[in-house]
Structure 1
């Protein structure tokens, strides 16, 4: 029995629509931190703008274990260019030093797509603390050993490691309390459960502007434009810089063509003046480049931070 002409057209149209929908499968950016934190906010801005430009993109949060949960998930994902991991120092470098065993290989499980941003590590504190900057915190810690509770988004994340390296330099120690991302730690800070937190400017920015938190120090060579009154560590006598950086990495077997296509789309966005302005408003400095440049940058950061971690001789973590 022959279908009426209009029904035949409908069947053909539905088949074409299904094929197009499959071809236009959404790109997923898997974020290793809880929703609401600074990195998550930036990933969502990136996803929204990519979607607006025609590449449907969503953010999927898989927090915990210093990024190991998310990294393992993406390492095992289908390598078709639609699933990428938001990568950083912890997932690609320091987890290999800080953890006994990983369910993924930082050097072999992924291919670089592009760097997407950077920002300095900062230390924030409650406004009712008896010190108002890093210099004051050091004096307090020396006079009151073990009294400072310091939060971080995870043991092997730079916003923990940089403060640990600084504490060794300054001759003090704090009690480290790791959280599954930036937001839970900042909420604990607001609630008075911890005293200070290593973080970036994005997550706590609104709380700082509302007078609920204070920047004690910035780990960069210059002050931040978002918080020009916040002093750097160098201004306070401590020569340390620590830049948080973020990129996109795909499962290792992802075709080169898919990597290059996503690289082009993301880099086109990162150079857009309107996007740059919005990113800077949340404390991020967009930075792109080729896959090779991102891979070289990761290697350079490994050569910098791995020896520092080895000298600190921190206890191995279990994920």
Structure 2
């Protein structure tokens, strides 16, 4: 039972008992009780109960709003804080909740930043090892296969060439994985070139055609914001290729009055009420780290649309 009903029923019980004693007890307005007096007392009781209910509802409504906020709050989707309304302990409770929520968001942002930083460092380490260790080993294998194929009999030369092609394909795949783990093109050539390379790497067998509309020049966003834009685009394209069953995708990067907007639309089957997985939650965490606004929803032409609005730092242009 809610606090409202407990207080209301307690007050109602007291008032009802008082009215019953007045009607049935030895001290009454008149003996026996007149119908007019009973009606007046009953009407007075009803008025008191209604007034009591209204006052309690008004007094406890801030607690109800706070309860709804606590039940729906999501640290990955910051929303407006409840206004400290009411008097005394109720207003203090709402202020304390807002303070606690601020600390939780700050702690989550700090821990997410550390986790994502460690993740990027691990990606760079793995990419470096793939390039330096496995890549060089496969390159040596290719050279040795070529030497053996040149000296092998004609009957074996065709099979050795097939092994060479398989090894070369494996080397290309390892290099592609290394580029996705550590986007060197982002560091060397910038965000626009990195996004172009990302769309150009969409597998041809996926049947997905990607179109790019990348506005230049862009304001100075900083290395961290550019990495977030790249990772969000990368995750969106990966989800489209794996799950959307789409045939067309539009990737747009444009300036806005407050910063830069990345928009990715596809014509696939859409979200269909599916729960957000680790990839989307990772996108939200990255967006929060740079104060960006990430929205996912249905595309106007069907499919899914991802929007990331990144604000420009003060003094940047």
TM (normalized to structure 2)? 0.25
| RCO higher in structure (CA 8 A, sep ≥6) | 1
- Give the structure with the higher percent helix: 2
